[in-house]
Homo-oligomer: A and B are copies of this chain.
Amino acid sequence: MGQGQKKADRAWREAMTIHLDVNGMMAAMLGEAGIQEDTFAALQPRLQAADAALQHARQSGTLPFYDLPYQNISGVQALAESVRQECDALVVLGIGGSALGTRALARALLPPFSVQTPVLHVADNIDPASFGALLDSLDLSRTIFNVISKSGETAETMAQFLIVRQLLQEKLGAGAVRQRIIVTTDATSGYLRPLVDREGWRDLIIPAGVGGRFSVFAPVGLFPTAVAGINIEELLAGAAWMDTRCRGTEVWQNPALLFAALQFVAAKPILVMMPYSDALAEVSEWFCQLWAESLGKERDRQGRIVHTGQTPVRALGTTDQHSQVQLYTEGPNDKVLVFLRVTDPERELTIPESYPEVEGLHYLSGAGLGALLRHEQRATEIALAKKGRMSCTFTLPVVNAFTLGQLLYLLEVATAIAGELYDVNAFDQPGVEEGKHLTYGMMGRAGFAEKDAEVRAWEEKRQGRFVV
């Protein structure tokens, strides 16, 4: 790249940079209900400790999600390019972190209401009505299934996989399984790895140490989105660009640090993420997993009972102004609103001149529909501020792979920092084990008979008179 192109590229990146506007949380705007600027000075030792711990972990290789933007993606791209020729539909069989990043990116970056080939389906539930209907709708001879599970033990995904494997065998013969199943799993461990090696399925690797909810920039998220036509190089470039911005311990220079620190200081039990953009609607779903599962912990790292964790809620502007904003404005002041605002979207629709005699319609004449959307975001922010309700706003110039890469990377880093501030392990999820074990018990899995007995004991406590 020549010097001139580099400069132009830098200018493009600057223009494409997303920003975090936290005016709506500060005392300068909110008065007593807001945060004083000097709060951050007092917090500085903790922010420095958090940064030091995370930088150490990054450098020692225990937090590899940080460096996913810099991975070599030629293998993923080559496989995706090949698969694009082989199929009309790619079906992801995965749940939680194996599904949410792909869903967020697909919703954001693929055109709505158009049927592109290959079409991307994410099957992240096991309801037989909808999973069966999906399978019925597919031309299996033109479908590839991407099975995603690091452990190969995820009950939902494995059940889907077994059903699909049999279906392919029955309808297309045993050879079809090898052609039509691509497995994304651990390089060496888990139940899927030996099957992959034995059966010769094509596979992709989830890097060691990258947990599900931090895997959107791993092949988990990159492969299906690349097959669907998303520019994953630009996505990672956005993440890398944000990496350069999320450095240091100065909150007014590091947006991830600022976001984590503000939520920590505000200490509101609920965080509502509310994009004013249909394309960004599922970013909230992805974020809700990231934030809830990382920070919702019974114990801190010293083993003390703490019961931490904001409850993340996803909303959508303007739609939820007509559903949730009444509560946000007048109900308990227990929330921070996090708006996502697209400042310069590509498409606009003009509301035509009409009915000059009808005052309640005429004021809309000539305005842009997108301008109305942005005005409503601002109006909601101010109406909340007038009631002492906190909000902050991520602004994206446009919705593209580069801005999405920035946003998701920023939120991942902010989550890691928040884990440090709350002093919890942001990378485990011990609270879901019990439910898995009880399920194994009911399913008759070897070694879980006592869990089955436990379920029966609970069921015996159930009283008919408490069922109406």
Contact = CB atoms under 8 A, between A and B. Distances in A.
Contacts of A22: 466-468
Given A370-B127, A378-B442, A326 B293 contact: yes
Interface in A40-94: none
Given A127-B373, A372-B443, A383-B435, 14 more contacts: A126-B318, A126-B369, A127-B370, A156-B318, A158-B361, A159-B364, A162-B354, A162-B361, A163-B369, A258-B468, A292-B326, A329-B431, A379-B436, A379-B439
A330 B354 contact: no
A344 interface: no
Give the size category of A's interface with B: 35 or more
Contacts of A431: 325-330, 387
B162 A455 contact: no
Interface in A117-162: 124-134, 136-137, 152-156, 158-160, 162
A252 interface: yes
A442 B371 CA distance: 10
Interface centre among A154, A351, A354, A463 (most CB of B within 10 A): A351
A330 B430 contact: yes
Given A258-B468, A330-B307, A364-B158, A462 B29 contact: yes
A382 B21 contact: no
A113 B134 contact: yes
A156 B114 CA distance: 24
Interface in A148-198: 152-156, 158-160, 162-163, 165-166, 191, 194-195
A200 to B, nearest CB: 16
**Shortest 8 CB-CB contacts between residues of A and residues of B:** A96-B322, A296-B327, A309-B331, A296-B331, A363-B445, A379-B438, A289-B323, A329-B431
B134 A330 contact: no
A10 B134 CA distance: 36
A434 B370 contact: no
B316 A313 contact: no
Interface string A290-330: 00110111110000000111010100111101111111111
15 contacts: A21-B462, A95-B319, A97-B322, A125-B319, A154-B322, A155-B376, A158-B364, A159-B372, A162-B354, A269-B334, A296-B326, A296-B327, A297-B330, A325-B432, A376-B435
